[in-house]
Amino acid sequence: MLSRVANHIYWLGRYLERAENYARFIDVNFNLMQDLPLDLKEQWQPLIAATGDLHFYLETHKTFSRDQVLFSYPLMRKILIP
């Protein structure tokens, strides 16, 4: 029983660390976009590619708009995490 609880706590920590990393990626990407010219398209594709989820994202979406990435990204991760 104790080892099962310890295992769950370990994986909880891993998932929390992963969520923090993704939040940091999104924050850095958002802050970098503040410095881009207004006519330049938003750069959300590199964010998805850097996390290794480009294949999964392209299965359901054709473009990389801010709304699509931010609203679908948690759902993608929910499907991939058992």
Which DSSP state fits 42?
P
Q: Which residues contact 80 (CB under 8 A, 6 or more apart)?
A: 53, 56
Mean pLDDT of 3-21: 89
pLDDT above 80: residue 24? yes
Give the pair of three-digit tokens for residue 44. 């959300």
| Predicted model pTM | 0.63
pLDDT of residue 28: 87
C-alpha–C-alpha distance, residues 62 and 17, integer Å? 29
